[in-house]
Structure 1
């Protein structure tokens, strides 16, 4: 923390390895970011997919700083479960927020924390895919922040929402965290330490996760000109 650089705020590794007074708080930061990104409309700019992938790489450190568990698998499983639960709670918060103040959001002016275009894009995305949008959106930056809010605005059936909410959250957390953990082991056996290539991992994951969004926007442009 002595050599803090503002650019670290966009680096997921900074949050994972963060400590205060020698106590590692990375796990709590990861859980908070997951909740904020999926439950607070202002959390759309926070790292999501790359954060979970890196959390998988650092899973042992994250869990061991809170509770000592000898089993490597249980460490990863516990981390994935905690993240999934926060994702579920985040979406529930977003749904409630959308149900209570959705009309106000569509009239709200743009600010640093809020962009109406993201809300409108998410609404179109939700109307096209229905309940499945909750699952699709979980793996897409920006959309995963606004999808539960849109679900609340359109009064999606609560039982249906919770089904897709729980399913998508557990899929998202388990796939990314387990991938990060076990791919790290595979590469390490080949003499490659992924911890030394974090910046490339982040770039690759950001490109993969944002590619569907870019394709959607590019396809939409011609129709808007007509």
Structure 2
């Protein structure tokens, strides 16, 4: 890979861990090679049940998860992880390319989605983004703080507070809020949000945006003066109260 990005590490300075789950061994071997070139620890699993066991033992910082597997598919693996309280960022990997499959994967709790065939560079870049958004990885440098009224967001530590109260967000909710805050007092369309937050063209499907905006409102605006506003027929905007 050319022009490598700055190395990412765990907050304690140790190497990041990635679990790669796919029943095609050649593919897991290629992905493992690419991820180890980033300096990350990599473990592989060839089935859904093996993935669940490896996730418990390895405690990965991110997971590359194939949807189509012979025993327990990726959706079922993710459901069991979330039910167990494991919020590891998940990058779905699949041959499916239908819009409904992408939306289903993301709304089920997945954080991103790559369709086969793919480039190794794309998978690495998406994993880097997932782990930074989740606050499990950091690079050297200052910790930028975004502010809108009494709402603050730390881009590196993944800490969000409003009126002094800490707010827990998922990786996708965090990225959506960050995008809105970087564009405060500016209306952003659903298409722009899909492109910037999920990096996909959903062919006009806006349900996933509406769903995550509703999640954010429940966490950010509940019982307080609203910061997130709908501009009917255009999109959404975040701004401080006047």
Indicate whether the TM-score tops 0.5.
no
Which has the larger helix fraction?
Answer: 1
Normalising by structure 1, we get a TM-score of 0.29
Structure number with greater CO (CA < 8 Å, separation at least 6) is 1
Which has the larger strand fraction?
Answer: 2
